[in-house]
Amino acid sequence: MAETILTQIENNILTITINRPDKMNALNATVISDLRSAMQQVYDNAEIKGVIITGSGTKAFVAGADISEFANYSTQQAKLMATNGHAVFNMIENCGKPVIAAVNGFALGGGCELAMSCHLRIASENAKFGQPEVNLGIIPGYGGTQRFIQYIGKGKALELMMTTDMISAAEAHPFGLVNHVVAQENLIAKCQEILNKIFTKGPVAITKVIECVNAHFEPQHGAFQYEIASFAQCFESSDFKEGTTAFVEKRKANFIGK
């Protein structure tokens, strides 16, 4: 079986590649676990000064969560799934070393949430962002309801989460969701350029900058817990069952609001 996460350390940069190209790099429990292990390296290995997270291939960064895995989850299983996702994404967000998402294609659902947990986002010209979870009768469960607001504001976040519209990298850039938009072939090089510039600064100060910026949003942590509970409650609904069944059957979902 192919590894779901590929890692490489070069010039003090750990590159983490989500490696499920046949599934558009969709997140599942194994990917989340492997991503946690990869991030633990960052915390433990002094050789690593910065991180790039990207997806395999040129079509998708991460095109969402693996729906087939959680379609029949109970409320309790859903809560554990969301809790585990939050834990790993919080590891990324709270890492004292800079973490850059090299968004090389679709960043949808959990992929958008993963990108937003990184400190910076560099996107290729073909990248698209979105939180389409309500199509399945659920909500973002890995921090998306909170981080989307932080990056693009309440009004636009609500619009995109309720309509499930995607936005391009060019559209995301003025909102601040994307730091830079570059050609696909220049994506990793741009991330490396930024990290190498950061490496010339004081590492302790860089860590404190990250800590202080994150502290600005600490009052939102109660909302994260509310998101976990709300995500899990969605699994009790008929709409969730209908949404996932319609997805598998490749038909339009008929939601009843229950």
Tens of pLDDT, residue by residue over 95-152, are 999 999 999 999 999 999 999 999 999 999 999 999 999 999 999 999 999 999 999 9
Strand 13-18 relative to strand 5-10, pairing: antiparallel
223 and 146 Cβ atoms separated by less than 8 Å: yes
Confidence at 255, pLDDT banded by 50, 70, 90: confident
Q: Distance (Å, rounded) from C-alpha 71 to C-alpha 23?
A: 16
- End-to-end alpha carbon distance in the chain: 39
The residue annotated as part of the active site, out of 47, 125, 133, 218, is 133
82 and 141 Cβ atoms separated by less than 8 Å: yes
pTM for the full predicted model: 0.92
The residue annotated as part of the active site, out of 10, 113, 185, 211, is 113
Please state which of the ranges 9-23, 191-205, 239-253 shows the lowest mean pLDDT: 239-253
Residue predicted with more confidence, 216 or 232: 232
Question: In degrees rounded to 5, what are phi and psi of residue 61?
Answer: -75, -70
Task: List 194's β-bridge partners, or say none.
Answer: none
Kindly report the CATH number that applies to the domain delimited by 5-184: 3.90.226.10
What DSSP state is assigned to residue 119? S
Task: List 102's β-bridge partners, or say none.
Answer: 54, 122
Question: In degrees rounded to 5, what are phi and psi of residue 54?
Answer: -145, 180
Looking at residue 234, its pLDDT comes to: 87
Rg (alpha carbons) of the chain, rounded to whole number: 18
What are the residues whose beta carbons fall under 8 Å from the beta carbon of 162, sequence distance 6 or more? 134
Structure tokens at 247: 């997805």
pLDDT digits (tens, 9 = 90+) for 179-204: 999 999 999 999 999 999 999 998 88
For residue 117, is it left (φ>0), alpha (ψ between -120 and 50) or beta? Answer: alpha
Question: In degrees rounded to 5, what are phi and psi of residue 106?
Answer: -65, 130
92 and 117 Cβ atoms separated by less than 8 Å: yes
22 and 1 Cβ atoms separated by less than 8 Å: no
Q: Is 162 helix (H, G, I), strand (E, B) or coil?
A: helix
Looking at residue 220, its pLDDT comes to: 56
44 and 37 Cβ atoms separated by less than 8 Å: no
**Per-domain boundaries in the chain:** 5-184
- Indicate if 113 belongs to the active site: yes
111 and 66 Cβ atoms separated by less than 8 Å: no
